[in-house]
Amino acid sequence: MERLPVSIIIPAYNSAAFIGEAVRSCLGASPRPLEVIVVDDGSTDETGAVCAAFGTSIKSLRVENSGVSRARNVGADAASGEWLLFLDSDDILMPGALGRLVDCAAAQNAGVAYGKVIERGAPGKPDRLNGFDYCAGAPPLPAERSFRRGVIITPGSAVVRAGLHRRAGGFVTGYEPMEDRDYWMKCGLLERVAFCDDVVLDKRWQPASHGSQHAKRIYRGQLAQRRLRAWCESNGADASWIPSEQVIVRWALDEAVWLRCPEILSALRREARAVGVQHWRSWLAGLVFRRPEPDWLVQSGIR
C-alpha cells in the first residue's frame, strides 16, 4: 500500500478511553502515513496498554509528564517523515485527509496546509463545521491573521513540513492552551500557508473548566504575543506588523474583564504597569472581583 511521507504524532495523557480510535483512524488512512508515533506523557491509566496492543504498527514512546508541547516536540524529534501532523489523542482523522493536505501544500509550495474540522457539540448542543481560508497566504499574512484568533482550529487539522517545524522552534512549553496559535504564527512568518477546502478532522467534545481555560488562554496568550517580536528579530522574520506591548496588554485586560476572569486581573495589572499602561476598567474590575491568583499562575514561573 502506498505510504505518504507523513509522520503522525499523537501526544497522549490518560487517554485510554479514546486513543485506540484515534490510532485506528490513522492506520486506516488511504494512502497510509509513513508512521504513527504515540508519545505517552506519563499517563497513569491504561494508555500504555492500549498502545502496546497495536504492536509494531505504531511507535510508542513514554516520557515523564511535562505537557502537550514537550510531548509533541519529542514525537517530532523521533519522526522521519517529510511532513508532520500533530493529532490530539481524542480526535479522528478523516479518510483521505492526509493525501489532500499534502497535495494542497505541494500545489502551493507551502510549508503548512490546513483544512476544515467537524467540532462535536457538548451534550444537547449541535455539531458545527469550522475552518476557513482566512490565514492562507505568504508571510507575514498568516501570522497577522492568526494574532488574535485561532484560525487553524487544532494541530490535527494541518500538516507542517518537518524542516519548518525545526525552524519555528517547535511548540513552546508554558504557553498552553495557546501554544498552537503561537506555533502557527511562527510557521506563517517563515513559509506560505495553504488552505485545503475539505473536512480533514473530526474533533470530539471534551468537558473542561471554561473559566480556568479562559484565564490561561488570556494570560499566556498575551505573553506569547509580546515575546513574538524578539523571536522575529532572532529569526529574521518581519515584525513590523506586531502591535506594541501596551496594545497587547490592553487587549488582554479588556478580555479578562469581558469574560469575568478576576483571578488573573492582578497579574495583568502588574504587566500593565511594567509596560506603562493605565487602564481604569481593569483596576475597577480588580477591586470588585478580586480573587487569589490560581495555582497554575503562581507556580508556572512565567510571570
Instruction: Tell me the pLDDT tens digit for each residue of 8-21.
Output: 999 999 999 999 99
Q: Is 237 left (phi over 0), alpha (psi -120 to 50) or beta?
A: beta
Half-sphere exposure (Cβ direction) of 250: Cα atoms closer than 13 Å: 10
Which residue type does 211 have? G
Write down the pLDDT at residue 289.
61
pLDDT of 248 > 70? The answer is yes
Rounded to two decimals, what is the model's pTM? 0.92
Q: What's the whole-number mean pLDDT along residues 121-142?
A: 91
Cell 497495536 belongs to 54
Question: What is the average pLDDT score of the chain?
Answer: 91
Show Cβ contacts of residue 288 under 8 Å, excluding neighbours closer than 6 positions.
262
Give the closest residue to 157 by CA, choosing from 122, 178, 129: 129
Q: What percent of the chain has pLDDT over 90?
A: 73
Q: What is the pLDDT of residue 295?
A: 77
Lowest mean per-residue pLDDT among 86-90, 143-147, 256-260: 256-260
The mean pLDDT of 78-85, rounded to a whole number, is 98
Q: Which of 12-16, 78-82, 132-136, 266-270 has the lowest mean pLDDT?
A: 266-270
Q: How confident is the model at residue 302 (pLDDT cuts 50, 70, 90)?
A: low
User: For residue 133, how many other CB atoms are within 10 A of its CB?
Assistant: 15
Residue 107: count of CB within 10 angstroms of its CB: 11
pLDDT of residue 299: 64
Residue 290 reports pLDDT greater than 70? no
Look up residue 277 and give its DSSP letter. -
- Min mean pLDDT across 4-18, 177-191, 212-226 is at 212-226
The pLDDT value recorded for residue 220 is: 94
Percent of the chain surpassing pLDDT 70: 91
Assess whether pLDDT exceeds 70 at residue 238.
yes
Q: What is the 3-state secondary structure (H, E, C) of 72-107?
A: HHHHHHHCCCCEEEECCCCEEECCCHHHHHHHHHHH
Q: Tell me what pLDDT residue 208 has.
A: 62
Residue 208 — left, alpha, or beta (φ > 0 → left; ψ -120 to 50 → alpha)?
Answer: beta
Residue 157 has pLDDT above 80, yes or no: yes
Residues across the chain: 303
Report whether pLDDT(265) > 90.
no
**211 pLDDT exceeds 50?**
no
Q: 3-203 domain in CATH 3.90.550.10? A: yes
Report in angstroms the alpha-carbon separations of 85 from 75, 162, 223: 10, 9, 26
Q: How far apart are the first and last CA of the chain?
A: 51
For helices 210-235 and 245-258, angle between their N-to-C axes, nearest 10 degrees: 170
Name every residue whose Cβ is closer than 8 Å to that of residue 40 and which is 6 or more positions away in sequence.
Answer: 12, 13, 47, 48, 51, 60, 61, 62, 63
Domain ranges, ordered by start, for the chain: 3-203, 211-299
Strands (E), the chain: 3-12, 32-41, 59-63, 83-86, 91-93, 112-119, 128-130, 158-161, 193-203
Mean pLDDT of 129-135: 92
- Pairing type for strands 32-41 and 3-12 reads parallel
